[in-house]
Amino acid sequence: MTHITAGSRINEADTPSHADVRSGPHRSGVLLMARYERMDLADASIVVMTELHKRCQVLTLDRKDFSIYRRNDRQTIDFIAPRKP
């Protein structure tokens, strides 16, 4: 399982090339940001990374947004966040 955080480094051999992401089934970050008004580039990048790494968990402080975001249009994103106060 891959854990994805804002500072994560991913082995290039494990990911498709930049051109593959644009031409493949994965949406670009720009399209994701158009779909979700509150999404910024950092969140969009993390969602795209979850599409590339099928078995992953996102470590985030942003429970509210990541409970709304979907990868591959309908799949929930498995994430770990602090409990609500």
Tokens of residue 45, six digits: 């990048």
Q: Taking phi first (over 0 means left), then psi (-120 to 50 degrees means alpha), and beta for anything else, what does residue 25 get? A: alpha
Residue-level pLDDT at 58: 96
- Distance of alpha carbon 30 from alpha carbon 9, whole angstroms: 22
Give the pLDDT confidence score for residue 57 in this predicted structure.
95
Q: How far apart are CA 60 and CA 19, in angstroms?
A: 28
Give the pLDDT of residue 19.
47
pLDDT, the chain, mean: 79
Asked if residue 85 lies in contact with residue 63, where contact means CB atoms within 8 angstroms, the answer is no
pLDDT at residue 4, rounded to an integer: 63
- Could you tell me the pLDDT band of residue 36, with boundaries at 50, 70 and 90? very high
Domains of the chain, by residue range, sit at: 2-6+17-80
CA 15 to chain centre: 14
